[in-house]
Structure 1
Amino acid sequence: MGIFGALSTAVSGLRAQSFALENISGNIANSQTTGFKRIDTDFLDLIPDAPQKRQTAGSVLSQSRSTNTLQGDIRTVSTETNMAINGNGFFVVEPRIGQADGDAVFSGSNFYTRRGDFELDKGGYLVNGAGYYLKGLPIDPVTQNISGSVPQVLRLDNAILPASQTTRINYQLNLPQLPKTAQYQESKTPGSQLLDPADFMTVAPNVTATLTGAALGGGVDANTIVNYGETLTVTVDGAPVTMEFFDGSLGAYSGSNVGIDVQAGVSVTSALAAMQTALRTNGGAAVADATINLTGGNFAITLGTNMVDVMTTSTTASGLGIPTAATTTAPTLPWLDARVQSVAAKDADQFIAQSISGGAITVYAENGAPTNLQLRWAKVNSTQFGGSERWNLFYLSDADATGSAPMWTNVDPTADPTGDYVFGGNGSPSPAVEYTQLNGLTVNGVLVGDVRLQHGANGLTQFADPNGTAEVTALNQNGYGAGEFVSVAVNDNGRVVVSYNNGQQLEVAQVVTANFNAANQLKRMDGGVFAATSESGEPILNNDGGIIGASLEASNTDISEEFTKLIVTQQAYAAGTRIVSTADEMLQEALNMVR
């Protein structure tokens, strides 16, 4: 069989190279096809059965070798519904076989592809450029969890997104230990950082501090009580006022203190009135309402409620009965225990001046009606005045209120029966306040409903802040108004996300991928899809991501490599033709031997 065998072998080689050329041609033709997987050619030698010493090289058989597991380059595109798989796996798709009553009819069979150029068609389906429809798992719109296990053709609804009532507001902030309100006066009025309930409701009278001296006669001459040249120093909130008694009949006072004329004929009552004027005039705002007079026949210096301390010193105090040593009087503010349930519109400006802003947020009623919820914090007590660190939270319930109608409403924290937010020395609420319930919340006439202010375990604190303002670290809510369909996209978790014009984004489906133990044994079909075979095994579905949105996988064909293979194939084919020519010539010579 020598010559005939060589001829047959050469022909098998020509056939094999032709098969390889066909694969090269197809690879080059699909070099720009999205998700295309090139086909390489393997050559298999066929050895005839013969003794070891008589074996020949044999013929050749060509066969295809898939490259389904070799990924092409991933490039970014502007279409947000396009997607690519980074790594192994295939999109699960299904072809449409017809239409009934205007809706697509599907075959019910799964195919697999790497072609991810999906776009939304008029029916709301995601279909790729080859006409195959994407399959995935639906997502529950409430829980945002996957609600199925069997992939189904994804169809998106472009209907109006219904409104959702606000039921939770995440609210976290730090309150300053010393709130610097508009009314706060750092040096002159201690306690001015606190809310004064007397400005908004009827409370018990303020308790004043009184320093009482000896019993005096108001009509007697003052110079019988004090001597010329004696002084009395009254220090309130660090501001001293020194009054010196002098004889006005000898001329005007020329000393460095404040002169009080006690010449003959000036009664005790007149001298005390002059002392009161001197104290109010020279002592500043802290003693603007202080009085010096006779109370029950006794000399008395009566102070206002905002005093931190009062000290009196005198060169001689025998007549007035005031101790010569320094005397400290702490203010008593019992009205701090009163609770302001609401603030009338007529008192709104005063309330703003005694509180600090806590932020504002838009909330939504059940029908989607929006309203602006404004929050303000007012400190109502402090350890400085013998109480505890207490705050009240108010919200603007009716911005259009007038006169005595309530404008701001106080909030009751759920954890504290007093209705206050109480903070311990460590800056945390005591008792803990993880949330505050606002039942039947109504703002500016809009009934929002029951809303929970969620602070969290450590979301509410009171630490020193040099600015004296509330530092809001979280303020968001879960409600929204109705929205119209705007667009659809696929995120990098493989979730199909629908965007609406109300700013909401709703995850509606999870794209699944299919993996195979022997992906190169899949059967190739038109349109860049594959079908499972007994050799490839059954698909293993997963939804763990690996998907890149707004991207496409290019063909894994390398043009330069294909041209290299083309040159080799061409040369091999030409060499095969030489074998055929040589065998033909040898046969011709054999035939000529019989002539």
Structure 2
Amino acid sequence: MSINGAMLAGVSGLTANAAALSTISQNIANVNTVGYKRATSEFATVVNSQTQGVGFSAGGVQATARHFISQAGQLQRTTSGTDLAIAGQGFFVVTEKSENLVNSDARLFTRAGAFKIDDLGYLQNTAGLYLQGWPVDTDGNVASDPSDVNRLKTINVGSVGGAAEPTTRVGLNANLKSSQKVSDAATVPTPAGVTAYDPATNSMAMWDPVTGTGVKPDFEITIPVSDSKGGQRSIAIAFLKGPNANEWYAEVHAPDGSVVNPNTPLKSGMVRFTQDGRLDTTFNGPTALFPDPSQASLTLGASGSVPPVPPAVAPDGTWAAGLGIAAQTIAIDLTAAAGGLTQYDSTSIVQATYTNGTAFGNLTEVKIDDTGFVTAIFDNGVMRKIAQVALATFPSADNLTEVSGNAFRVSQSSGTFNLKAPGTGGAGLLGASQLEASTVDLSTEFTGLITTQRAYSASSKIITTADEMLAELINIKR
């Protein structure tokens, strides 16, 4: 009957407004939850089938929760370098466990980026979920795939130890005095009682001021280099003024004895200068110190390595066997725009030597940039990329399924995820030392609280009125 239908409609109003109250309560409770997305209850009518001539049958109302997951919150600055926020539509990919992940393990998605380093070195947010990313290989490359979550690994910054970088490039800014007196050892023919300079039998690498053996160089440039283990070695370039103008004998050797046969030059030959004091880069060939002065380099074989069989090119020298270090090629820039190697009538001097490579260093800091690269910074200045944070996007993010921990699962309505690097495909850039605030607006929620309370009271009034009408109907018989 219509009175009974009115009462049931009132009950549906109570149920719907109670659901709306729960939604508002959830929002208010999470007003300070990082990355929380507000929800609201939307009402829809329920219409019963109507029979002609019987009267109207009330259906009532039903409430459906709507989640504004795609709505972005305001980014707020923090003091933690591992706090992350997304300025875009992406989601962090997270898992409930850090290690031994298999295909059946759930991958969740969240905007809650309050990550910290746990006791094993993994990045974990306040809900206990672990951040996933693509590992960076030793060459700095990332093997990403937009749909394969198995390529993602839990990002670990605690496993990063110390780091060292070998020297691969040297730049020189030095001058040789053009009016340098030609020594007796370089004079041809050799004066009686003086041993002539010979890179094979009487070289500058053999020079010993105590015993007087070898040939004393007119000038020597010592270059500090780092080996593959971060050890500090010395390479020297010795110069002896030649008998011809603008020509110098030159040798490259290791004065610290760090190579096999340290008394033998690693390289020897001539360097020639132009009449205006610049290095003559056109002087090349077998008599030159470097076959191509504009592309000068020194190659050292690994400790204990055996020289290759000809026609393979042998290195210029080999690191001493006891050092146990790797092969190394060092590019030597003799023609730098800042000066390079020159010959002016001024004091022979080294203005500067520029080398890369570093000694062993310890981890001091972890930084995450806006493209998602997690970089370890060491106290020796070395920076090493560890991983790149992956972001997931969805065709319909508002239809994701909510789970505990302010995270979401894929649903049939949301569509499948697409993994992207930050800053690509609308995924958004990352903001380090930032967090995304909750999207809850308290003024809106409290206003909704008032209207929901009134609607609930009105629905209860329907039930009270219908009850009174039923009572009147029952009293007719009396």
Is residue 2:113 matched to residue 1:116?
Answer: yes
Is residue 2:48 matched to residue 1:48?
Answer: yes
Q: 1:380 to 1:349 in 2, by over 3 A?
A: closer
Identity, in percent, stands at 29
Q: How many residues align?
A: 417
Listed as ranges, the matches of 1:512-523 within 5 Å are 512-523=390-401
Distance 2:57 2:278 in 1: 93
Q: CA deviation at 1:152?
A: 2.5
Listed as ranges, the matches of 1:92-131 within 5 Å are 92-96=93-97, 108-131=105-128
Match of 1:558 in 2: 441
* Paired letter, 1:6: A
Match of 1:364 in 2: 226
Does the 8 A contact of 1:437 with 1:450 survive in 2?
no
Match of 1:144 in 2: 140
Distance 1:52 1:380 in 2: 121
- Provide Cα deviations, 1:509-538, integer angstroms capped at 9, x if missing partner: 222111111111111111112111121122
Q: CA deviation at 1:500?
A: 3.6
Structure 1 gap ranges (5+): 98-102, 182-192, 206-340, 401-405
Listed as ranges, the matches of 1:10-159 within 5 Å are 10-50=10-50, 59-96=60-97, 108-140=105-137, 142-147=138-143, 149=145, 150-156=151-157, 158=159
Match of 1:419 in 2: 271
- Provide Cα deviations, 1:221-250, integer angstroms capped at 9, x if missing partner: xxxxxxxxxxxxxxxxxxxxxxxxxxxxxx
Q: CA deviation at 1:23?
A: 0.7
Q: Which moved more, 1:131-140 or 1:498-507?
A: 498-507
* Paired letter, 2:442: I
Listed as ranges, the matches of 1:423-442 within 5 Å are 429-430=281-282, 433-440=293-300
Listed as ranges, the matches of 1:89-488 within 5 Å are 89-96=90-97, 108-140=105-137, 142-147=138-143, 149=145, 150-156=151-157, 158=159, 160-161=161-162, 163-166=164-167, 168-169=168-169, 171=171, 194=178, 196=180, 198-199=182-183, 201-203=185-187, 342=204, 351=219, 362-371=224-233, 398=255, 418-420=270-272, 429-430=281-282, 433-440=293-300, 450-453=328-331, 455=333, 475-481=354-360, 483-488=361-366
Match of 1:321 in 2: none
Q: CA deviation at 1:501?
A: 4.2
Distance 2:70 2:282 in 1: 61
- For 1:45, what is the secondary structure of its paired residue? strand
- For 1:565, what is the secondary structure of its paired residue? helix
Distance 1:517 1:542 in 2: 14
Match of 2:471 in 1: 588
* Paired letter, 1:41: S
Distance 2:96 2:474 in 1: 61
- For 1:555, what is the secondary structure of its paired residue? coil
Greater Cα radius of gyration, structure 1 or 2: 1
Does the 8 A contact of 1:363 with 1:373 survive in 2?
yes
Distance 1:547 1:584 in 2: 59
Distance 1:433 1:371 in 2: 23
Q: CA deviation at 1:87?
A: 1.0
Q: CA deviation at 1:368?
A: 2.6
Is residue 2:377 matched to residue 1:499?
Answer: yes
Q: CA deviation at 1:198?
A: 0.8
Is residue 2:442 matched to residue 1:573?
Answer: no
* Paired letter, 1:27: N
Does the 8 A contact of 1:130 with 1:527 survive in 2?
yes
Distance 1:378 1:41 in 2: 89
Q: CA deviation at 1:458?
A: 7.9
CA RMSD after TM alignment:
4.9
- For 1:566, what is the secondary structure of its paired residue? helix
Structure 2 gap ranges (5+): 146-150, 190-202, 210-214, 284-291, 301-316, 424-428
Distance 2:136 2:355 in 1: 24
Distance 2:458 2:179 in 1: 103
Q: 1:371 to 1:50 in 2, by over 3 A?
A: same
Does the 8 A contact of 1:497 with 1:506 survive in 2?
yes
Match of 2:314 in 1: none
Does the 8 A contact of 1:9 with 1:59 survive in 2?
yes
Q: CA deviation at 1:61?
A: 1.0
Distance 1:568 1:200 in 2: 106
Distance 2:334 2:438 in 1: 51
Q: TM-score, normalised by structure 2?
A: 0.69
Distance 2:253 2:122 in 1: 47
